[in-house]
Structure 1
Amino acid sequence: MPTYNTIMSLAAGAGLLLLVLLGRTLHRDKQFKAEGWALSAGVLGGILTLTGAHMTLTWPFAKYFPFDNIVFGETSLGLGVLLLAAALYLWKRGDQIVAAEDRPAEVAAVAKPLGIFIFGLGLALFGIAAAGVYFQLFAAPADEPISGMFAEWPIVEAIFMSGLFALVGVGAVLFPFALNSFTATKPLTKIAKWMGGVWAVSGAAFLLFGAMNFYTHIGLIVNTMQ
């Protein structure tokens, strides 16, 4: 039952944190080096696009968890392509951003058309969160270390994972509205702060959860080897 939600979770969490820090840097930091941000977005976007595309196009990717194709594959593919687009823009137009009088407004104007797709992804994440709780997805088998402690109560991990997807979804839905007031001439609005806050919390959680899964998934394989 191969899955990539170890490196996927790690990269997705890092990607969300990267976007939050990028917005904060554009708004507050006068020393902006676009190349570093472009490289970071390119690395994370490459990982998510490659693994997400493979999982999305291979059906079923995991024999007993075919919904993983949708839950992890399609969402990782969407975020990965967005990060690659950001990497390309930052690399090719970095000097233009640095030279702009209002850097946040310059980037917001370019990103605005993407708000439609990102808003749609937010709604999709709400759907995943609802399905996760209703169908009690994400439960780890008893043979898996740490996560397997809750195998008798599948609703626990279902609520935890669904909550993370919902948090990312909240930020995605707020994204196009946050762009409307993203400027260096005014303080960040409550919408922008909420968007950054939920992405920071969910990003850190996905990063730490993905790192933990490297241990738990290896342990599951070892415990089930015949």
Structure 2
Amino acid sequence: MSAAMERHKLTCYHRWIAKSDWKKRRIAQKNPGPVKPVVKLVNFIRAWGLQHRQFITFLEETDTDYQDLLYHSNVRWIRLGKACQQVWELKQEIISFLELLEKADDFPELSDTDWLCDLAFAVDILTHMNELNVKLQGKDQFVHDMYTNVRACKTKLALFSKLMSNKSFAHFPTLATLKEAPRHVKKFRKSLDDLHGEFYHRFSDFGKIDVTSAGFMSLHTRS
């Protein structure tokens, strides 16, 4: 294969990985429990101008660190992690606001400890995936660098699952705040193992491409 063809192949693969949001889609598909209510809640608060302004005023009066909720839709997957985190950190303020509107009964999940565990897990795992996205989207990266980051993430997922089997939540600080978390270890380990398997499936040829890219870089350096 010519150097030009190798360059084109590697460039296409780089773009596909850097722009892909399949990780968050897979997390949402495998764990719809926390995601759908978050989207419903955020869209409810922001759906009407007056209601949205009332919520912003309410946050100002409660002196929180947030001034608003980040809008999320099924298209903007990259915002999913931040939306979940905001709902988590503002959950008490949101409950109070919904009670003022007499709408708290429309969102029973906010008082459901099992759902809150799911949300906390989603916040933490999406944070890890966002960190990987930032690394993959860095400028001037060779595929070898991206492969190293993906391989490191796969290793972390396996470690997370192993630690969680011992009910250790060292890498899940949000989940660790809930005393009910140990009851859900089996479910969360399965989610981690499924995500690890998805990485293996999606990047099964990445090692071969990494070897090719290393050869390409060597040729490029000598030229």
**TM-score, normalised via structure 1 length:** 0.34
Q: Which entry has the higher C-alpha Rg, 1 or 2?
A: 2
**TM-score, normalised via structure 2 length:** 0.35
